[in-house]
Amino acid sequence: MAPPNFTYTEETASVSNKNKTRCAAKYRREYETVLPKNKNYTPINFPILRYSDILLMIAEADNELTAVPSDLAYACLDSVRIRAGITPLTGAGLTKEQFRNVIKKERAMEFCFEALRRWDLIRWGDFYTNMIAMQAYVEQDGWTTGLKYASAYYNISEAYNYFPIPDSEMSVNKMITINNPGW
């Protein structure tokens, strides 16, 4: 769902590279110390909310409330960047919009493979346009031949910015007369 920034080449597409080139390593089972490994249980706790998420939420909220990024916003963002080994931005003199774009990029990198991107895009009002752009990118690059890599992008509408209100809720709450847009 993020704008694609990778290069898709013959080398990355080869059968021998399929299991080597794309891999999320944050919570792989090889790090487990308890043996034997059980397919239903793991001693690794999956994080629901990470400290870096809180820091980036503070930076984003503070940026939206002030005319220019504050010291607090920079401090929160830089804490995440320093932990990741990235150069801090303190004193970069960014505008509100530039800082917002830095936060968007930072969240995309920091929470890759953690299923937060869609909700970030919806919050920023970018979900629908990003999905349409991704569909166009996939079609122009020929990904639609063979396996349908882009099938998830074909039926997207702005209704996906919301969840539908269940009929069971609408039937018991007479104050809800209209479902969310598109549903």
> Do 130 and 120 share a structural domain?
no
pLDDT in tens, 154-164: 678 899 999 99
pLDDT in tens, 120-164: 999 999 999 998 888 777 777 666 555 555 455 567 889 999 999
Give the count of alpha carbons within 13 A of 63, CB side only.
24
* Percent of the chain whose pLDDT exceeds 90: 51
Note whether 34 and 20 are within 8 A (CB): no
pLDDT band of 7, cuts 50, 70, 90: very low
> Do 100 and 60 share a structural domain?
yes
Separation of alpha carbons 2 and 4, rounded Å = 6
> Do 70 and 95 share a structural domain?
yes
Residues 6+ apart with CB under 8 A from 30: none
pLDDT in tens, 55-95: 999 999 999 999 999 999 999 999 999 999 999 997 789 99
> Do 120 and 38 share a structural domain?
yes
- Residue 77 maps to a domain: yes
> Do 161 and 101 share a structural domain?
no
Model pLDDT, residue 90? 79
> Do 114 and 164 share a structural domain?
no
> Do 167 and 90 share a structural domain?
no
Domain count, the chain: 2
Separation of alpha carbons 116 and 121, rounded Å = 9
> Do 140 and 119 share a structural domain?
no
Dihedral, 98, 100, 101, 103 alpha carbons, nearest 10: 130
The CATH number of residue 67's host domain is 1.25.40.900
Count CB atoms within 10 A of the CB of residue 131.
22
Task: Please give the residue range of the domain that contains residue 159.
Answer: 126-183
Separation of alpha carbons 133 and 8, rounded Å = 17
> Do 151 and 74 share a structural domain?
no
> Do 108 and 137 share a structural domain?
no
- Residue 7 maps to a domain: no
Answering whether pTM is above 0.85, one says no
